[in-house]
Amino acid sequence: MTATPSESSGSAAAFNPGAVLGQYRIVRLLGRGGMGEVYEVEHAVLHRRYALKLLPAEFAAASGALERFQREARVMAALEHPNILQVDDFGETGGRYWLRMELANGVNAAGKPCVSLADWVEAKGGKLDAARAAGVLGHILSGLAHAHKRGVVHRDLKPANILLLTAADGKTEVKIADFGLVRLVGEEWVRGRAEQSIRLSMSLGDQRTMAPDGGSSTGSLIGTYAYMSPEQKRGAEADMRSDVYAMGLIAYRLFTGRKLGLKKPSELVPGLAPAWDTWIMTALEEAPGDRFADAGELLAAMPDAGDEGSGFGVQGSGTNPQPATHNPRFRVQGSGFRKKNPQPTTHNPQPIPAG
Ligand SMILES: Nc1ncnc2c1ncn2[C@@H]1O[C@H](COP(=O)(O)OP(=O)(O)OP(=O)(O)O)[C@@H](O)[C@H]1O
Ligand SMILES: [Mg+2]
């Protein structure tokens, strides 16, 4: 049986379990984001499992979509790093474009699925302890620095786009997902949808759209908007400093469990070294020119985790070891920090604790 994608935009999935999409059998719908549905699939011949992101039908219909799709797909496929989720196939079936990705299969200590950083933070009550937060941030930045060095901007960094995989040795790997997806579908398109969802949530006058996505894509669009830099909200094109801003918001959230407010992180987290305040608030400068220039600078300026780095960790460099230094996993070539904080990082990542 070959499935025909439905055009329904309601809660019905385009494909049911068992349906066939080209060489892939649909196992289940994993979820829905602002830019399409994600399915767990099994390759018909190889029997390997992957995640397949099916882009919205209206995107395929847009003029110039194919050229843009191919160009951005090449950029995504070229990004190979242990902290970047590998996208390794692209295609079109029945008029719908899809991207094939590694399947995120993170679990917590209780063995429950914990696929993204958003899931993990939620399960921990909204924040991580400082040591874990520092470890995770180091790994995200290592992947992001790799992309920035190649001129690739993410544009949609948020906890839901940081996925967790369980390696063969049981350690958890942290991987940035959806690299370049915003550019692929068009920044204008994403911004329009995000603004629309915010208007909708205001007109409803309730908190429904802030709840975990219960069958619509509104929740993830709000999530996207919440992590946008000031310049993205104004409609300007994102650059590496916009990713730096999003990382500042993620860091603030991971350490404090709160949305960005007037208080410094160290005022909210007893014992947190004030160096983290400077680091986070520099990333969150309103003017892009006042921030770290890219993820390499942000990583190089990351405060020493000290005790915060002990006793846990994240596996991150299995396939692409970085040059040996104090901190072999986080070393980024050519990323000396030049601005407000000349201290190089000696941060020491460890595996994510299950749970
Ligand atoms: N490679 C993957 N493996 C396993 N689950 C995934 C994978 N990619 C996405 N998911 C899950 O599918 C759901 C939808 O993901 P999707 O990326 O579409 O939405 P999002 O990250 O919330 O928003 P955005 O569209 O901005 O990326 C989420 O619950 C996500 O955790
Ligand atoms: Mg995503």
- For residue 51, give the amino acid letter: A
Domains and CATH numbers, the chain: 20-101 (3.30.200.20), 107-353 (1.10.510.10)
- Check residue 74 and give its pLDDT: 87
Q: How many C-beta neighbours within 10 Å does residue 255 have?
A: 23
pLDDT at res. 148: 96
pTM of the entire predicted model:
0.82
Q: What is the mean pLDDT of each run of 10 residues along the chain (355 residues)?
A: 41 84 94 88 96 85 79 88 94 88 90 92 94 96 97 94 93 92 75 72 54 50 81 89 97 96 95 96 97 98 66 35 33 32 41 53
156 is catalytic: yes
What is the spatial distance between Cα 335 and Cα 274, in angstroms, rounded to a whole number?
Answer: 23
Sorted by sequence, the CB contacts under 8 Å of residue 311 that are 6+ apart come out as 131, 350
86 CA from centroid of ligand 1 (Å): 14
Phi, psi of 101 (to 5 degrees): -130, 165
258 φ, ψ to 5°?
A: -125, 160
Q: Is the CB of 114 under 6 A from ligand 1?
A: no
Q: Whose CA is closest to atom 5 on ligand 1? A: 104
Reported as a single tens digit per residue, the pLDDT across 243-252 is 999 999 999 9
Q: Which atom of ligand 1 is nearest to the CA of 116?
A: 31
Q: What is the pLDDT of residues 125-137, one digit of tens each?
A: 999 999 999 999 9
